[in-house]
Amino acid sequence: VSSGEHGTPVQISVPPELAAVADAFNRMTRKIVEQETRLVEQARRDGLTSLLNRREFDLRLEERMDSLAAGGAPFALLLGDVDHFKQINDAHGHVTGDEVLRRVAQTLEANAPDAENTFRYGGEEFALILPDSSPEVAQQTAERLRRAIGELSPSDAALPDVTMSFGLAFCDAPLDPDALVRAADAALYKAKAQGRNRVVISA
């Protein structure tokens, strides 16, 4: 216990009158381990959407870049932003805005190639790392996600019209992770400027 290792129950021979004490100690140990596990998981997750958070995104992107530098497969980064989200909040209220974000997160996670590489990047912006992906496959994935988001509103009368714009950047050679994010973000900006509800690929 003094070393901070709480995961191993104490196995000792005790008189019957002390068995209850040993059992209570082991139950306490299990609860401590479970609580620590929950806290670690909560620290990785966004509180509203339960997606992995920005900190986890930064770690995963750096890991993916290190893997690529070591001879790993190319990958793509997809940034998506809910179109006209401020107007949704203004017209329908923040409770509805939060519900839109939750539904968008659920839809992205359900349709992503790898749910554990789907993140809430911040505000109404989401990020997906598409591992082992070619430019063609990454673009097909982005279009599939865009269509899935567009189908949210007709299937749920409680939601306003929801669309997303996406910026896609492909990575087949190691570079600074921030540079890849900037490339995807620039493509996302172009998608917004070109009318929204579309996928733009970084040049």
- Residue 62 sits in a domain whose CATH number is 3.30.70.270
Look at residue 92 and tell me if it is in a domain: yes
**Distance (Å, rounded) from C-alpha 31 to C-alpha 194?**
53
Look at residue 84 and tell me if it is in a domain: yes
Average pLDDT for residues 91-106, to the nearest whole number? 96
Tokens of 194: 């070109």
Number of domains in the chain: 2
Look at residue 49 and tell me if it is in a domain: no
Which structural domain, as residue segments, surrounds residue 110?
54-201
Together in a domain, 10 and 62: no
Which of 41, 124, 136, 143 is catalytic? The answer is 124
Q: Spell out the residues 6+ positions from residue 167 whose beta carbon is closer than 8 angstroms to its own.
A: 78, 79, 80, 184, 185, 186, 187, 188, 189, 190, 191, 199, 200, 202
Q: Is 116 a catalytic residue?
A: no
Asked if residue 9 has pLDDT above 80, the reply is no
**Other beta carbons within 10 Å of 84:** 17
Asked if residue 14 has pLDDT above 80, the reply is no
Together in a domain, 33 and 124: no
Tell me what pLDDT residue 6 has. Answer: 56
